[in-house]
Amino acid sequence: MKLNYSIGIDIGGTNTDIGIVSADGKIIDKENLPTNEYYDADLYMKDVAEKIKILLERNKISEIDGIGIGAPNGNTYTGSIDNAPNLNFKGQVKLAEMMKKYIDTKVVVSNDANAAAYGEMIYGGAKNLDHFITFTLGTGVGSGIIIDRKLILGSTSTAGELGHSIIIINGRQCGCGRKGCLETYTSAGGIRRTALELMEHNPYYSGVLKDIAPENLTSKMVGDAANAGDPIGIQTFENVGYLLGIAMANAVTFSAPQAIFLMGGPVHAGEVLMKPLRKSFDEHLLNIYQGTVDIRVSELKDNEVAILGAAALCQL
């Protein structure tokens, strides 16, 4: 199918970003709205639709493939957001249905991690791949799974929650109520937590991270320290890479993908993460898969992936 322009909407707890995306994956214009100032979802969608109309007019675009919406707890089957904890809209909010009242086009809703995976396929490094998985390291660890160029939704539209696969039985307490989830170790917060734990166990450590108040420490600081040769920083990312490598090797036993893509802030730490990650992945990958799977960094920019992923959903 010949791609036209698509609209990508990224609904965050604070802001809503709305972009027009060209067929070759460029965000040609953007608008935004303060999500947290709305309590009536229908009024909110009406204003989002107004912004879209402004964008289309300003760019003299009359035809679009559709509107894609990436949102926390976005449900592709129902076109709704279901009980999203960080939004003012409670219960099930049927965004697609609401939007169609204002703009009569294809509207597809998905959660942000699934949208990111689809974005990688339509606009990023997976254009020519049939089978791949993405892991997004951020506040949590999101994931999206593509098999035979289809986004895996499962029976509930909530497939691909690999951040909540249990990597260490009875491990760290997770916000989900269980213990040992991958994201307790490899999210931005998990990285921070590992650095703090390592400092606690190394009382004689006197590097750069020691001087930062624990509440101010970020995964970015840990990554910067690692890249400057700091031993706690290095050890932290070795730990993250080790566990991510195992989680990825486990994911391969499921869908035998051609590649696994990493995205999100901590990935910018670079080789201090990627080197131990690749080593662990190779060590823990079942022999029959050796040489069949690449570990790659996403080709979408962090600040564009949400809109691009949402826009890509129009091709679903």
**Binding residues for a second copy (CB under 8 A):** 130-131, 145, 147-148, 150, 152-162, 164-169, 176-178, 246, 249-251, 253-258, 283-284, 286-289, 292
Output the smallest distance, CB 118 to a second copy, in A. 16
Q: Which is nearer to a second copy, 14 or 292 (CB)?
A: 292
Are 186 and 142 a contacting pair, CB within 8 Å?
no
Residue closer to a second copy by CB (options 39, 254) is 254
Residue 140 CB, nearest distance to a second copy (Å)?
12
Beta strands in 47-88 (DSSP E): 64-70, 74-75, 80-82
Our CB check for a second copy shows the closer of 165 and 202 to be 165
Closest CA to 93 of 51, 42, 47, 38: 42
**Residue 232: CB partners within 8 Å, gap ≥ 6?**
195, 198, 199, 202, 205, 207, 209, 222, 225
User: DSSP alpha helices (H): ranges in the chain?
Assistant: 41-58, 95-102, 112-123, 183-186, 188-201, 219-227, 231-255, 271-284, 305-312
Amino acid at 258: Q
Is 58 or 178 the residue whose CB approaches a second copy more closely?
178
CB of 14 to a second copy, least distance (A): 23
Residue closer to a second copy by CB (options 88, 250) is 250
CA dist 134 and 146 (Å) reads 9
- The residue among 6 and 143 lying less far from a second copy, judged by its C-beta, is 143
Contact 42, 50 (CB under 8 A): no
Least distance CB 246 / a second copy (angstroms): 6
Enumerate residues 6+ apart whose C-beta is below 8 A from 146.
Answer: 117, 118, 121, 126, 129, 130, 131, 132, 133, 152, 257
Taking alpha carbons only, the member of 242, 143, 240 closest to residue 188 is 240
Dihedral sign for Cα atoms in the order 96, 99, 100, 103? negative
The distance of closest approach from Cβ of residue 154 to a second copy in the complex, given in angstroms and rounded to an integer, is 3
Closer residue to a second copy (CB): 51 or 131: 131
Rounded to whole angstroms, how far apart are CA atoms 102 and 47?
A: 10
User: H or E stretch including 108?
Assistant: strand 107-110
Q: How far is the CB of 57 from a second copy (least distance, A)?
A: 39
Name which of 202 and 250 has its Cβ closer to a second copy.
Answer: 250
Q: How far is the CB of 172 from a second copy (least distance, A)?
A: 14
Task: State in angstroms the smallest separation of the CB of 256 from a second copy.
Answer: 3
Residue 305: is it exposed, middle or buried by C-beta count within 10 angstroms (0-12/13-18/19+)?
buried
